[in-house]
A = this chain, B = another copy of it.
Amino acid sequence: MHIIINTSCMVPIYEQIVDQIKTQIRKGNLKENDILPSVRSLAKELKISALTVKKAYDALEEEGFTVTVHGKGTYVVSINTELLLEEQKKELEADLENAIQKGRRCGISDEDIRSLFELILEG
């Protein structure tokens, strides 16, 4: 399971796990009926608490991406990947809008905001 945890950024670990598993489902790296790593094994691999992994798995099941079978494991279910992409874009849109609004609140011109954005995207 290729999951990268960035403990230095402010995004909760469990949310980072959710994001990346959702993306792997969308991209087809995880297919219907695939089994996710066990809570404990992923926790060990990522060197984090099992509860944190469990919280991520709970969120995935809540959102309908997986089903958990007691004593067996957590399985990927059939997903409309188109819909998932739209949802992830909605999240990105909200983040960008927050950043832009904050910049404007600070009195930074749209030109300057765009310049910064391009600088980051290119760099």
Contacts and interface: CB of A to CB of B under 8 A. Distances in A.
A98 interface: yes
B102 A116 contact: no
Nearest to A99: B95
Please tell me how many copies of the chain the complex holds. 4
Interface string A5-16: 000011100001
A22 B92 CA distance: 27
Question: At the interface, is chain A mostly helix, strand, loop or mixed?
Answer: helix
A82 interface: no
A1 interface: no
Interface in A1-45: 9-11, 16, 19-20, 22-23, 26-27
A19 B102 contact: yes
A22 B106 contact: yes
Report the 6 A-B pairs with minimum CB-CB distance, sorted nearest first: A95-B99, A92-B103, A88-B106, A23-B107, A23-B106, A96-B99
